[in-house]
Amino acid sequence: MRHTRSHTKNRRSHHALKAPALSTCSHCGAQHRPHHMCLECGFYNGRQVMDLKAEKTKRDARIKAKEDRITADLALGAPETPAAPAENIAKEEEAQEVKKTEAKKKKAKAETTSEEKSA
């Protein structure tokens, strides 16, 4: 059966996106999803579920410790930096190309010597 444009559009009329429903936080007044914790203050249903300030300080301390480890590794001269493996790969590729060209030269010399012997 043929699907006309009008029937297709009638069917798709219900595909429109709807704006998400939002609730207002009773503690700080920010908008949040209903039945979810407020992402601004950590309150849900009038009580504090998560201490966001403490979580932020923990996260900041963890990031700072990671940065300190990285700088300490760089200062000590870590065995390989991220750029070093790329340089090693490039050197290996160059060495392989040199070997190939040398093999071609040897093969060409062998062919010329065999031609001279047969002539």
- Clarify whether residues 74 and 95 are in a common domain: no
> Residue type for 65, please?
A
Range of the domain at 48: 20-78
Provide the pLDDT confidence category of residue 36 given band limits of 50, 70 and 90. very high
- Residue 25 resides in a domain: yes
How many other β-carbons are positioned within 10 Å of the β-carbon of residue 14?
6
Question: Do 26 and 66 sit in the same domain of this protein?
Answer: yes
Residues 59, 103 within the same domain: no
Please state the domain count of the chain: 2
For the chain, the average pLDDT equals 86
Same domain, 95 and 73: no
- What pTM, to 2 d.p., does this model score? 0.44
Compute the Cα dihedral for 83, 87, 75, 73 and give only its sign. Answer: positive
DSSP per residue, 43-88: EETTEE---HHHHHHHHHHHHHHHHHHHHHHHHHT-S--THHHHHH
74-91 pLDDT tens trace: 888 755 555 566 677 777
pLDDT at 85: 67
Q: Let me know whether 42 and 69 are in one domain.
A: yes
Residue 11 covered by a domain = no
* pLDDT tops 80 at residue 33: yes
* Token pair recorded at residue 67: 């940065």
Indicate if 70 and 27 belong to the same structural domain.
yes
Q: How many CB atoms lie within 10 A of CB 43?
A: 19
